[in-house]
A = this chain, B = another copy of it.
């Protein structure tokens, strides 16, 4: 089936494998009139680019984004925005030794069960390079949200056993681990060194905060804002858990603790005294910050020998070489942000007609 499209109005379709000619994305439904150039998107690409630190793969991709359609004189036209990155550094040869073995923790076996065909070159479609299309689309969504006063901040909150203990937004871009706490980042670096020396890898927790959300975004029942955010973020290969606001913390909480009392802020606007709900009530934004956390699993490609099975059903040992990060999360930060931006952009567009006076405002402006 067709699983490569996300969104209803702001609709994103990605394509491409790690070792084919390239990877790309088509963004359909972006409103016309958004200023958009390749240099607006590239900084997002650079945040997920390999080779930025010793904790990320040495693959030397420049990941230069190219806009192929959908803009005219530096402005979106409302038509599909096609973007592409050429693959330039695919060492296909690296993978031949594992072509008949299922890598533990990888998607190989699932794909083979499903399709009966296996593109063994670096994960094919399940490679992290697939997220390039998401990030490019997310960049556009973020630029759209910015025009509406909505901004997103995403960072690594914990690496292995090391959580952040302070929050300095400016620090996030300062260290290669995208942690908002320099001293935690230093400790985490040491921890990752140890993982690497042991041919091992580490999990992490990513947090994403959306500021400036209007209230009233999201649909009741199945297409709740938090439900679609959960899908969006769980669809990132490395993510195994998603929570909103206090998340799993609500298990041990009482109603009196967990309810957020409403109040009036200094500008006379309705607001909440606390934000245990993470900015979403009944699937609809309440105007507070949206707070999302997710769990990123340790890189499954580790260099030590592992037990597995071959395609012809024999028990074999596997050793995975090649270029692999000891941690996925730092490069996944911008992917989480992208999926969040795409989801919110789509909800803003699908929810414009919730009241008849809004429909009238667009279609009968003069009357």
Contact = CB atoms under 8 A, between A and B. Distances in A.
Interface in A164-218: 195, 198, 200-205, 214-218
Contacts of A262: 102, 104, 109, 307-309
B352 A359 contact: yes
A249 B158 CA distance: 12
Nearest to A68: B21
Nearest to A125: B79
Contacts of A117: 32-33, 72, 75-78
B231 A240 contact: no
B355 A3 contact: no
A352 to B, nearest CB: 4
A355 B283 CA distance: 26
Interface in A7-63: 7-17, 20-24, 26, 28-29, 31-34
A226 interface: yes
A356 B281 contact: no
A215 B69 contact: no
Give this chain's copy count.
4
Nearest to A287: B113
Of A79, A106, A218, A360, most B-chain CB atoms within 10 Å? A79
Interface in A91-136: 102, 104-111, 113-117, 119, 124-126, 130
Contacts of A298: 250, 253-255, 257-258
B80 A4 contact: yes
Contacts of A108: 281-282
A130 B221 contact: yes
A324 B91 CA distance: 47
B242 A234 contact: yes
Contacts of A352: 349, 352-353, 358-359, 362-363
Interface string A345-365: 000111111111111111110
A113 to B, nearest CB: 4
A285 interface: yes
Interface string A216-259: 11111111101111111111010011111111111111111111
A204 B28 contact: no
Contact of A355 (B79, B116, B160, B195): B116
A26 B125 CA distance: 14
Contacts of A367: 149
A262 B108 CA distance: 11
Contacts of A116: 32-33, 355, 357
B14 A281 contact: no
A104, A109, A205, A296, most chain B CB atoms within 10 A: A104
**Most central of A84, A108, A116 by chain B CB within 10 Å:** A116
A302 interface: yes
Given A106-B281, A264-B309, A349-B359, 5 more contacts: A1-B353, A5-B222, A21-B68, A32-B116, A200-B254
24 contacts: A1-B350, A3-B29, A15-B69, A17-B69, A21-B66, A72-B117, A78-B111, A78-B355, A105-B255, A110-B283, A147-B356, A160-B251, A205-B248, A221-B235, A224-B234, A226-B240, A227-B232, A230-B231, A241-B248, A241-B250, A249-B295, A251-B295, A258-B297, A259-B306
